[in-house]
Structure 1
């Protein structure tokens, strides 16, 4: 059976490895009480939000916080497992967890991208993207977190290495 292209497994490994510090240092900040984060991390988050005009990270609506909770309690524990599986390569057991992960992430990214593209930020306190260029810039930050999970889903469903059916022994 054909193995998954090694470049994809390396991409997935890098994706999951890079996601660990991003989640711990940036993404989870909206869930922490004010003053609990180190000032350097707060400044980093404020720089990011100002540079990319991302109001979701500084004043997250409740629907967005639910996605961050999912990232903290469902996705974060999966990141090192997925990193190991794709770094090692050829781990067929990652198929079902990767399908669940990629489907979940793609589902959560759709409302975020729709919010970025369609929301009227002109009345928002912290602002947000107001021009098409600013919307596309912010979109470029979130889009890889949709595209890579979709590639992962496609790989898990369509690559013969991962999508094989096991033959059961007959008694």
Structure 2
């Protein structure tokens, strides 16, 4: 079970690093003025739009802007917490992984429904987003089936006896 758990942790950390970098540097350009970003990042976003045919990023429909705000306000901090929590083996990382997994799954289902339903998405774009569904699946599994490690505090017999009398 340790190998499976280690693999799941690895997947979550890798995708959390990807999200921790792409959300503020690329995705946030949807909501914030391009003047906030250096020209190299603006060009990188434009290249991505053209290379992968991401029409939602180019057209910026309102639901997509809302999903990006959820990424900025909710998913980005969770990604940072996941990286630290998993690498430092914090017991609360189980909860942050579950939250990030559910948030990612919800957003990805919305995006994939649009991409597949519209018929406008390129195969390259669909292949780029499919691993994020796997990430959300692994993060949810970690959150549901991992047991957080609790610190056991041993009390002396005298302290326990005093506690019982009080």
TM-score class, shorter? 0.7 to 0.9
Q: TM-score scaled by structure 2?
A: 0.80
Equivalent in the alignment of 2:104: 105
Q: CA RMSD in A?
A: 2.3
Deviation, structure 1 residue 92:
2.5
1:132-153 Cα distance to aligned partner (Å, 9 max, x none): xx2x211111112221111110
Cα 1:29–1:45 shift into 2, 3 Å: same
1:95-137 Cα distance to aligned partner (Å, 9 max, x none): 223222211210111110011111154xxxxxxx3xxxx2x21
Structure 1 ranges of 4+ moved more than 4 A: none
Cα 1:59–1:155 shift into 2, 3 Å: same
Aligned length: 151
Q: TM-score scaled by structure 1?
A: 0.78
Which is richer in helix? 2
Structure number, greater radius of gyration = 2
**Structure 2 residues without counterparts, runs of 5 or longer:** 151-163
Equivalent in the alignment of 1:40: 40
Deviation, structure 1 residue 25:
1.2
Residues 1:154 and 2:144 aligned together? no
Cα 1:13–1:120 shift into 2, 3 Å: closer
Q: C-alpha distance in 2, partners of 1:42/1:106?
A: 27
**Structure 1 residues without counterparts, runs of 5 or longer:** 122-128, 165-170
1:22-72 Cα distance to aligned partner (Å, 9 max, x none): 112111111112433221111111111111000111221100110100111
